[in-house]
Structure 1
């Protein structure tokens, strides 16, 4: 068993049920650490951690922090007035950011870190599943569950560690990967970045952390990624391997063939053509698979075997995840919350998954993102036949005066969309179910709790 860093032997996680926090907690528990923590509510992630032996308290209170805790782990979402954080500071217990904890658990591995404005979870998942299928026993930490609750992370015996590298709060600056993937570079996370130039600076810092002799795998198609590649090469950075449809890509995507809810991709790699299956629809996901293939070969994994193993990936929770069918209507859940992701998922559904109409129940995520990108979100919703928009899911943010979901609905109507503002979250499932007809597909879309509404939509469709 890999040793637990001394500071992490008795960690206390504030917000332990979160996607990133629960994964690190699980890995430490598997390695033999005595893990404890707290979260605001019960969840499947919390239950999965308890099954691993972790002590999880509900609610936040200073009494939850054990006397002998070796450190307290926090994410950027934890506010300074959290009573457990205040207690740790008062007692002199080291406070460790989530990114530092992740860096510590993968420090003695061949690390592969996946970054980009979107597509990180899917690509990291593809790598974790395919490397496992090849018998390489990777450890991994991703931002979503592969198949069952608690499968967002795992400690195994292999030398490879695959991790999702989050740029939103610059936490990916803490990692030192052997191979880094950058899927795309776009302006997002407006509370932390004032301009695209700041985004470039942040990604350049991440690239500068690649280990000596390592490789940067980067998109040849995304304009921001191409500009980053230009800067990295001008600065004499690590070896670069590009992928995509561009004529100058090192691993060139020749064609993507949609086959229902799957696709087939053909690439030119090292002078020969290679065709393999991708078990999720759309060009966006096919390109994620090619990024995974390029990164794996950079680690020395034979391309033919890896390409075949990528076919073992069948999706991750909330990434175009089928939720069921009732009354001849299919319901699928999408995590898309940035306009580029929304467009990609809607185009994927249009390309191979929908014979009837596509209806969207969309929940905007964050006031700051809606303020900056609300018009583009409305434009994306115009790709649906009809949509219903919920109130903004605030997550960690306070409201911004004048920023509401009407920013999106007004833009969508201006683009010619049939769009409705939901009177409430509770009323939305019945509203969109009433709009659906046999043969239609309903997409619940957003990074908040809209995912909970899929089963309720199916109930109304069954009535």
Structure 2
């Protein structure tokens, strides 16, 4: 918006963009894509001002992005398009400066959706869980098969990471495809017009199920081809409203266009049979868990809809090595493995716990909730999930939720969640300070244990996992 006026230019190389909060997981790859396409990009971030995660900002600077303190000094012209996420308050000096100059303002979602909708082949990945992984899988398949896609992800794709690109959450290609995860949490999914839509699953996270059904259903109905997980009850119900000739279904051990059977788990991989009509293909993924089989089916369905032959897509996906913070093995010390994971809602956490419980060893889980608002929404489902999924000797520790400043209602706290989980008989502890929570688990650890660090909206969780590994050593 520009002082209440909509501003929707066609993004091009001549534009000048200023990102407020440029280090965010949704902002950084968008800035990378614009810089890679020749636009002038600058930005600020409170994490940069605090001196945290310097490598991330060094990487942005190496890509030609100019960085400023978040004090308004970088916003100097009414020709700059100022981009901010919903988390940025109107009192932030950069926003105050933009308003004073009359600089046009856009949300992250407005800008991303314009780039997405303007592409020849927009492929949108939606769902409560698995979006980043499926986006990375589709991007890798298209890249490996010579389609040169542009990919916008909320996580670092390890296949594209390199010493000169350590934060590869975006890929800039010359091909027709623009692959992006789309976010339902703020309702911005409504801005996207995919030609190929993927719907992984529908479950509680930020919004009520009624709101989610409406958002996901409208998104799916826009596409020429919609790839839907009919193994998920809510997604299957939405699929019933779509014309069959525009639908590609997938499921594990259930009737679907793409079906997975004979799953064979390994500690950090999984194999299965892919059945399509009368065809049967052996597939081995380099990422573990039943949930990743579902993710792979979604990606293969989307790749086929984009014109990639199934055999080529299968060969490519076997080379997909995963994302940072998605069941990422940080290392092993003293017989204790440390795993860094993005799990933050009941479905994601349950999938990780199920994958780990397929093999021996106690779980020591540090779960940092990603905000007081989501904690209130997910309260009962989180408690029920942990009560069901934690084994008798597992230990769960919750520090206080992520807090990035501003006013927030604290109706439900980590202490409330822990009290309800502990009442079911599970071992759950509230330690408000995150460093104290980590130290508690390190002190408990013994050979054969797996420590899992879980949570979202906080890049420093990866540092915490690395620090825990170092202490174990």
TM-score, L = length of structure 2? 0.89
Matched with 1:80 is 90
Summarize the alignment of residues 9-28 of structure 1 with structure 2, pairs less than 5 Å apart: 9-28=15-34
Offset, 1:420? 1.7
Query: Which residue is equivalent to 1:361?
Result: 366
Other-structure match for 2:185: 168
- Tell me, in whole angstroms, the C-alpha distance in 2 between the residues paired with 1:258 and 1:311: 15
Report deviation, 1:396. 6.7
Query: Per-residue deviation at 1:348?
Result: 0.6
Tell me which residue corresponds to 2:281: 274
Give the one of 342, 345, 352 matched to 1:338. Answer: 345
Q: Confirm whether residue 154 of structure 1 aligns to residue 171 of structure 2.
A: yes
Closer/same/farther in 2, CA of residues 131 and 303 from structure 1, 3 Å limit = same
Aligned equivalent of 1:224: 234
Residue 374 of structure 1, aligned match among 374, 379, 383: 379
What is the rounded CA distance, in whole Å, between the counterparts of 2:255 and 2:432 in structure 1?
50
Give the C-alpha shift of residue 135 in structure 1.
2.1
Identify if the C-alpha distance between structure 1 residues 224 and 397 changes in structure 2 by more than 3 Å, giving closer, same or farther: farther
Deviation for aligned residue 1:52: 0.6
CA contact (8 A) 2:76 2:101 kept: no
Q: Tell me the secondary structure at the aligned position of residue 37 of structure 1.
A: strand
Task: Note if contact 1:253-1:265 (Cα within 8 Å) is conserved in structure 2.
Answer: yes
- Separation in 2 of the partners of 1:136 and 1:6? 22
RMSD of equivalent CA atoms: 2.1
Counterparts of 1:185-204 in structure 2 under 5 Å? 185-189=202-206, 193=207, 195-204=208-217
- TM-aligned CA deviation for residue 389 of structure 1: 1.3
Structure 1 alignment gaps of length 5 or more: none
Structure 1 pair 359/8, CA: closer, same or farther in 2 (3 Å)? farther
Structure 2: tracts of 5 or more residues without a match: 1-8
CA distance in 1, matches of 2:313, 2:268: 21
Distance of 2:314 and 2:410 partners within structure 1: 49
Of 165, 178, 181, the residue aligned with 2:195 is 178
- Describe the shift of the 1:114–1:428 C-alpha distance in structure 2 as closer, same or farther (beyond 3 A): same
In the other structure, the counterpart of 1:327 is 334
After superposition, the C-alpha distances for 1:384-403 in whole angstroms (9 at most, x for unaligned) are 41121111113477443442
Q: Deviations over 1:378-427 (max 9, x none)?
A: 34334341121111113477443442112221222133211222252222
2:426 alignment partner in structure 1:
417
Q: Residues 295-328 of structure 1, C-alpha deviation per residue, up to 9 Å, x if partnerless?
A: 1111121001101110111110100001111111
- Summarize deviations over 1:41-90 as a string: whole Å, max 9, x none: 233332211101110113x2222113264311111112222222232233
Confirm or deny: 8 A CA contact 2:12 2:39 kept in the other structure.
no
Q: Deviations over 1:98-149 (max 9, x none)?
A: 1221123231331111000111001101111222222221110000011343
Equivalent residue, structure 2, for 1:114: 125
Q: Does 1:242 align with 2:249?
A: yes
Q: CA deviation at 1:218?
A: 0.8
2:264 partner SS: strand
SS at match of 1:41: helix
1:349 matched residue in structure 2: 356
Out of 104, 107, 114, the residue aligned to residue 114 of structure 2 is 104
TM-score by length of 1: 0.91
Comparing 298-307 with 8-17, greater Cα deviation is found at 8-17
**Secondary structure of the corresponding residue to residue 64 of structure 1:** coil
Give the structure 2 partner of residue 129 of structure 1. Answer: 140
Partner of 1:295: 302
Partners of 2:119 and 2:177 within 8 A in 1: no
Distance 1:268 1:397, change over 3 A: farther
423-432 or 16-25, which deviates more: 423-432
The alpha-carbon deviation at position 8 of structure 1 amounts to: 6.6
- In 2: Cα distance, 1:362 partner to 1:27 partner: 32
Question: Per the alignment, in what secondary structure is the counterpart of residue 63 of structure 1?
Answer: coil
Are residue 286 (structure 1) and residue 264 (structure 2) matched?
Answer: no
Matched-pair contact (CA < 8 Å) for 1:4–1:28: no
